Structure 1
Amino acid sequence: MSTPATVIAAGGVVWRERRGSLQVLLVHRPRYDDWSLPKGKLAPNEHVLVAARREIEEETGQQVVLGPPLGVQRYTVRKNGATAPKLVHYWSATPLDGADFQPNSEVDEVAWLPLDKARTKLSYPRDVDILDCLGRVVPVSSTLVLLRHTEAVKRKDWESKDTARPLSTNGKNQAERLTAVLGALGVNKLITSDAERCIATLTPYAASIDRQIHLWPEISERGYHEDPSALAGLAEKAWKPGKVTVVCSHRPVLPALARELGLRVGKFSPGAFLVAHRLSDGRLVYERFTAP
């Protein structure tokens, strides 16, 4: 008998500050008669960040943006008459509005509670462990998403100037899927190389939020080759308090650009990205993702 596939789920700890203290949002599920953190299974081909935001919003009625990761839970569940492993990813989440909760078949009640009361109300110790991670990663002062452009037409198949080389069909699809991912992170400032493949990577998201894309020629392959020193000072422009900024560039430029921005240097396949949250005490919390 084959082992059942791992069930992948995502959710978060929705939090707000009231009178100097943190409150978190718990959900009551009538099917299990328990109090837990909002979460749910990924839809087919759904990105884990998009799933976390969707599940939180469906279960709580709150529109949110995701912040730093809070860890994962691993346990077993019953699936098709057998036992299957389950993996649940959690992020901190901040509400965008004061939407009213509407009871439904999955969640019939929600409660905003101070941390100490939430710890005692939660039905599962594993949820308490996730909740206890919240204070270590909030508040966030600014967030930076460092992105390599999605898949482009191969150089050997393009006869015009390289800066005009467009995205491939797969790259265009990746850019469309990236829209929901950047939305889940609440990206509100867009910076890119002036090469067509970088601009096209961010164009669908820019259109979805009606925001301008800022072009930085110095982070293009041509601009960096002509003057590597032009990267100096870009960190101050990219890290903006209260902003969630995406910076889109190219594989040959990304190592030097990452160092200038104070980020970890690593390999980026087309469409891959790094998310860095700068906390109020100056620490950075990182995540890396492949293309959506």
Structure 2
Amino acid sequence: MPVSVVAAGAIPWRVTKDRLEVLLIHRPRYDDWSWPKGKLDPGETIPECAAREVWEEIGLAAELGIPLPAIYYPVAAGRKVVHYWATEVKGQRILPDGKEVDSVMWCAPEKAATLLTNPSDVEPLEFLMAAHRRDELRTWPLIVLRHAKAKPRSSWSRAEGERPLAATGIRQAQSVKRLLQVWRPMRVVTSPWLRCIATIAPYAKAVDAKVKVHDALTEHHHARKPKKSTGVLEALFDKQRGVVLCTHRPVLPALFRQLAAHMPGRLSAILPGDEPFLAPGEVVVCHVAVAKSGQVVAVEQVKPFDD
């Protein structure tokens, strides 16, 4: 049966006195216990939907962590899918909206499993619990971004580094700005060429991110010294803080090979392996475990909303 309803949400979690807790919500309309979630709005990606719903329902502005299994179940309109992520609550205050959600409850995952009204909601919870046992629940994002669509090379006669974004690319850059706020990396590492700078600038300005440019990430420098560009990527693991790296299509294969060395084979198989590797403005998000230095434990590939 095809999917007719797409929704997204998250399981908020925290560790209190070395014990994992998750946050259940009560929805008066259905008189049920569930996770914060809601339907996809026009003009947003599925991760953006999850982050928005968490904010609207419980007032939590938190970055999405590792993806959790999606659940499927029948509804009046047909078949519904709900995509879930983990999201850590780091002392933020929870403020139910009072309409969609009238009560919340922190509890042990084992208790939450018995209280959930929809049995399907237990599956992402069990995945979250298993990740916690493996020390793979608390992570930071390392994001690789291909710059937005640029003007064609054939129509540009000046320096390659000055080739600007096309009109479509300018719109994509705004979509990238919204998408990256789902993970909210506060560091930006980018090629200095104009099309990369123009792609990442709206996001960097919106969150006041720290920006660092590296010539090694340009096409020309990478062609001459590919190890320099992979070295820039490798250095990002040292600081263990959220970061987005913006570069060009010819640089991507080497970066993905370098990333593959930081993850098990089942995850490296997810990394793009064929031309063009990423569409303009598309991202690969690598979730790096805080407790396992340099180890990627989850991978996502997401396109910004395309109007």
**Contact 1:219–1:257 at 8 Å: present in 2 too?**
no
For 1:167, what is the secondary structure of its paired residue? coil
Which of these residues, 261, 278, 288, is aligned with residue 301 of structure 2? 288
- CA deviations 1:211-255 (Å, max 9, x no partner) are 232111111101112222323533432124541111111111100
**Contact 2:128–2:137 at 8 Å: present in 1 too?**
no
Distance in 1 (CA, whole Å) between partners of 2:130 and 2:215 is: 37
The 5 Å alignment of 1:43-192 reads: 43-79=41-77, 84-95=78-89, 97-137=91-131, 138-192=136-190
Letter in 1 for 2:117: S
Consecutive unaligned residues in structure 1, runs of 5 or more = none
Bigger mean CA deviation after superposition, 70-79 or 276-285: 276-285
Distance in 2 (CA, whole Å) between partners of 1:205 and 1:102 is: 28
**Contact 2:88–2:138 at 8 Å: present in 1 too?**
no
2:284 counterpart residue number: 274
Distance in 2 (CA, whole Å) between partners of 1:95 and 1:265 is: 32
1:14 counterpart residue number: 12
Please report how far the alpha carbon of residue 6 of structure 1 lies from its aligned counterpart in structure 2 after TM superposition.
Answer: 1.4
How many percent of aligned residue pairs carry the same amino acid?
37
Letter in 2 for 1:53: A
Bigger mean CA deviation after superposition, 50-59 or 231-240: 231-240
Bigger mean CA deviation after superposition, 281-290 or 108-117: 281-290
**Contact 1:62–1:97 at 8 Å: present in 2 too?**
no
Please report how far the alpha carbon of residue 100 of structure 1 lies from its aligned counterpart in structure 2 after TM superposition.
Answer: 4.2
**Contact 2:146–2:281 at 8 Å: present in 1 too?**
yes
For 1:246, what is the secondary structure of its paired residue? strand
TM-score, normalised with respect to structure 1: 0.92
For 2:49, what is the secondary structure of its paired residue? helix
TM-score, normalised with respect to structure 2: 0.87
1:259 counterpart residue number: 257
Letter in 2 for 1:130: P
Letter in 1 for 2:157: E
Distance in 2 (CA, whole Å) between partners of 1:219 and 1:235 is: 9
Letter in 1 for 2:112: A
Distance in 1 (CA, whole Å) between partners of 2:158 and 2:189 is: 25
**Contact 2:283–2:301 at 8 Å: present in 1 too?**
yes
1:202 counterpart residue number: 200
Bigger mean CA deviation after superposition, 209-218 or 33-42: 209-218
Q: CA RMSD in A?
A: 1.9
Please report how far the alpha carbon of residue 96 of structure 1 lies from its aligned counterpart in structure 2 after TM superposition.
Answer: 5.2
Distance 1:105 1:92, change over 3 A: same
Distance in 2 (CA, whole Å) between partners of 1:245 and 1:95 is: 20
Distance in 1 (CA, whole Å) between partners of 2:15 and 2:2 is: 41
Q: Which has the higher strand share?
A: 1
- How many residue pairs end up in the alignment? 286
- CA deviations 1:26-56 (Å, max 9, x no partner) are 1101111100011000111211111100101
Please report how far the alpha carbon of residue 120 of structure 1 lies from its aligned counterpart in structure 2 after TM superposition.
Answer: 1.3
**Contact 2:66–2:139 at 8 Å: present in 1 too?**
no
Please report how far the alpha carbon of residue 168 of structure 1 lies from its aligned counterpart in structure 2 after TM superposition.
Answer: 1.0
For 1:160, what is the secondary structure of its paired residue? coil
Distance 1:125 1:255, change over 3 A: same
Please report how far the alpha carbon of residue 269 of structure 1 lies from its aligned counterpart in structure 2 after TM superposition.
Answer: 1.3
For 2:63, what is the secondary structure of its paired residue? strand
